[in-house]
Structure 1
């Protein structure tokens, strides 16, 4: 019987054994090659995969630029705050900590629980944004798993409602929404930085590795306004509106020489630091957005146009008897009758005669009046760059009819803003030179452009001084110690629902400048719908002009030019040597 032996060394099927060994060897080589490839040739891949699971880039918030007045007083600043956020998928299991969290976050437990359960499948929700550092640290001190904080900045407005319409405000992400915050948003915005950190799989910070890029703060903005004058204008307008129970109002104050806006206020206003009860109408910068017919405040511009033609001299007289004038189907009326029915050009402004101004305008033609008004900036943008600025309306006709010419000469048939009205009077005060208006501080006095004849502008300056200082003038606009010039106006409000004007609805206006000997400040006052005690511009708006001009000139250390008008006070004789006072 034949015997068979078994050889475990693979000699029975030697080729199979060698094949298995070869395959195992190839596997070892492949594994070795892959290890070498990953660690030598493609080292970054493993590193990036590891970093994706632990390395995070955290933004470094950028500081928004500061807004200040011309003297460096802050109007808008950014303060550090903490924003608290949570990972609901982690926090949902921490119900024992919910009552404490709700308490320090300032919310009730039911609302907190309901919101958290509604977002249980998410990984990010805000719990509360922009908390003060002290309150935010109180939340983080609870050390609740799933609750985290982010460093941010919050905008704060120290002047509150006083400068709200001019400065504007930002949203929760510090993006400009209104006013100069919106107009100069790109300039004020900073560039956020980036920081590299290590976190575990639960998002907890392990190590702050390095700063990738530093945050770059935004640029500061220095405005032309003087916060002291802004407060004065705000106070005077508020008191004037309160006295006559007016609906709204605006004041614009300009530097005659530089074109800078020294103050711009509106009522009603709002507090940009607390906008919980903010109404849309409160946000309107009426001084730039609201347009209106300027009424008799346009007569000085029309008078300048007449003097510029050379056809009229200040001593020329106009017969305004009997105080009415018929043009087609329109009747022009004067409010006050002129003694004897004859007025010179200064008397036309003093008595605010619509008939007298119409006769002068009809003589020189509507185009001459139109050109003078256009020269002082009416019907054009002011160049301030303020969001939502209205340009108003200055009509122009190929053939000027008598009714259109007459109406334009005494301020009807056109519309302007308070800023345009202030600019027109600042040009008169600057001897007919127009300088660019600015909401930013101007360090060098601009040369300006002569848009009205200097002689005519100076003559009208004297006429406007007489309007205030004459015996029958607008005495409520007088300023003790100073000669000032100006003109009141009373304009009926146009109806928005039908043609014509509203019944018993007026705007009270006053525009002027001072001191008359060397004008420094131009002011326009607009009070909308006074309802108690009267509505004429000389009664309602003139006292506001007087109070503001008086305080502003003294605050700016402008030397008085009318000391004879002030009450003389006899000083006591100083005691002789050795005597006691």
Structure 2
């Protein structure tokens, strides 16, 4: 075979093995065209959004992230009569979280729970229960150092919110009067509750833009400015309150008593200058109400006033015109029967005058005076003095006391009311009644708020009768009376003791007493009226002249000096008597 033939055969075989390759030109141009159109569309869309739709898109973005938030309002301050702060609201931070953003990872929750003082599982449960929300408080109104510590962790979904926290500079001394607020700054006790609407501010509102972590990044506009609450000026004098609190607390502790209350009134206006109770509580601390510590006992607790009622029985007798201070009353032989019951004195005083009935605190003499007066007349007189009638201070839970209608009196009720059994009063009610004697027969409205104008009183007793009874009450504080321990050096003091048997389930107890003293000073022109009540003294002494009268003496002596009240008795006998009383 020639070489040419072999070459032709090889070429034929090679042609058979060749495969025709497809052409990609059409596809390439198609793809390039599509990419060109897409690029033009994207460029056009970008230009459209950045230039032609700018306002619309910004509005839509803001609408999705725009929120109306409240701005906390400052609660009004509570001050004493001279402007000393008793309740203050200060700005603090609360820690909150967005459960939708906050990671449930243990590496995040463990340090956060440790900083908050919580268990990790407790924190996880809290977030899980509110997983469908975007806001949950982790801790309210924290100290600045804790807020700083938590924010230093830099955890997504954990932020701070500005709020206000209530502080009480005077602590437990004013706690029963001022009260306290809850975590939402709403009044819960005392005047914080009574004047909650007055003290509360009106929260403000503003629009803000929040970012993806729900943080406010821009203030858009103020819708309503927050309006702070109004201030409250109390009638109480901070100096007198501290003085009364210290002496009452000391007496309750010294006599191992169950509780105690003391009230000081301005005899010329009816303003409450001091009101203290034991036991007390700290409104800045734990709100543990064990033992009724939140109760303002001076307004909410009632008791039988005992012999402190005798001045009003005598006043009713003098008002009737049938008796004078020198009228003789026969108390022989020191007891007598009223039906099946016996009324007795601690000794036989024989024939005494009306003034001595007060000085010696004769039950027989007082009951004979009462039984000689018509029931309706005596009831009406007691009611005019304020017994059985609330003082209308507006204080939450104030008790009105009890004075049974005269149509329900038996003869023994008629008799025992004269020396304070069978009716009930609060310490403030008793102080109001004694303020009538101090104000020459004028009864002023009682006020826990400072009065800027002189109040209008109501005459409920003739001035002559009030002065006569005051003169009799001065003898009670003499060396021959039942309360020499109530004397105040340099001042004439008028007052009355009460030692009251407490009611138990089986009747009147033979070993549980209330020690009471009610009085005023200076007796020649009274400025202050004070009532001291100590419940169940258990350290041996229990008479009002032994337990309550010394508290009156110490507090009244300091109060008269603080108010610059001029002395009205600089005799040597006065100073000697006060020294004698202080030892008892």
Q: TM-score interval w.r.t. the shorter chain?
A: 0.7 to 0.9
- State whether structure 2 residue 246 is matched by structure 1 residue 235: yes
Report what 2:501 is aligned to: 492
Find 2:566's aligned residue among 556, 559, 562: 559
Find 2:556's aligned residue among 549, 554, 557: 549
Shift of residue 361, structure 1, vs aligned partner: 1.2
Shift of residue 402, structure 1, vs aligned partner: 2.6
Find 2:292's aligned residue among 265, 269, 281: 281
Report what 2:454 is aligned to: 445
Report what 2:434 is aligned to: 425
Decide whether the 8 Å contact of 1:365 with 1:400 is kept in 2.
Answer: no
Decide whether the 8 Å contact of 2:379 with 2:406 is kept in 1.
Answer: no
CA 1:211–1:94: 2 relative to 1, 3 Å: farther
Q: Alignment partner of 2:101: what SS?
A: helix
CA 1:399–1:172: 2 relative to 1, 3 Å: closer
Q: Alignment partner of 1:90: what SS?
A: coil
CA 1:69–1:365: 2 relative to 1, 3 Å: same
Residues 33-432 of structure 1: matches in 2 within 5 Å? 50-117=61-128, 119-279=130-290, 281-338=292-349, 341-398=350-407, 401-432=410-441
Name the stretch that deviates more: 173-182 or 393-402.
Answer: 393-402
Q: In structure 2, what is the Cα distance between the partners aligned to 1:438 and 1:194?
A: 37
Decide whether the 8 Å contact of 2:482 with 2:545 is kept in 1.
Answer: no
Shift of residue 472, structure 1, vs aligned partner: 4.0
Q: In structure 1, what is the Cα distance between the partners aligned to 2:233 and 2:241?
A: 15
Q: In structure 2, what is the Cα distance between the partners aligned to 1:157 and 1:106?
A: 25
Decide whether the 8 Å contact of 1:94 with 1:144 is kept in 2.
Answer: no
CA 1:277–1:405: 2 relative to 1, 3 Å: closer
Decide whether the 8 Å contact of 1:293 with 1:415 is kept in 2.
Answer: yes
Q: In structure 2, what is the Cα distance between the partners aligned to 1:200 and 1:471?
A: 83
- State whether structure 2 residue 484 is matched by structure 1 residue 475: yes
Shift of residue 118, structure 1, vs aligned partner: 5.2
Q: In structure 1, what is the Cα distance between the partners aligned to 2:78 and 2:55?
A: 47
Q: In structure 2, what is the Cα distance between the partners aligned to 1:79 and 1:486?
A: 44
* Residue deviations 1:448-489 (CA, integer Å, cap 9, x gap): 111111111110000001111243441111111110100000
Structure 2 portions without partners, runs of 5+: 1-47, 577-584
Q: In structure 2, what is the Cα distance between the partners aligned to 1:461 and 1:93?
A: 76
* Residue deviations 1:159-218 (CA, integer Å, cap 9, x gap): 111010100111100001111000000000000111211112331333222222110000
Q: In structure 1, what is the Cα distance between the partners aligned to 2:167 and 2:279?
A: 20
Q: In structure 1, what is the Cα distance between the partners aligned to 2:392 and 2:129?
A: 51
Shift of residue 121, structure 1, vs aligned partner: 5.0
CA 1:472–1:99: 2 relative to 1, 3 Å: same
Decide whether the 8 Å contact of 1:92 with 1:116 is kept in 2.
Answer: no
Shift of residue 527, structure 1, vs aligned partner: 0.5
> TM-score w.r.t. structure 2 length?
0.86
Structure 1 portions without partners, runs of 5+: 1-34, 569-581
Aligned residues: 525
Larger Rg: 1 or 2?
A: 2
Shift of residue 294, structure 1, vs aligned partner: 0.5
> TM-score w.r.t. structure 1 length?
0.86
Decide whether the 8 Å contact of 2:98 with 2:214 is kept in 1.
Answer: no
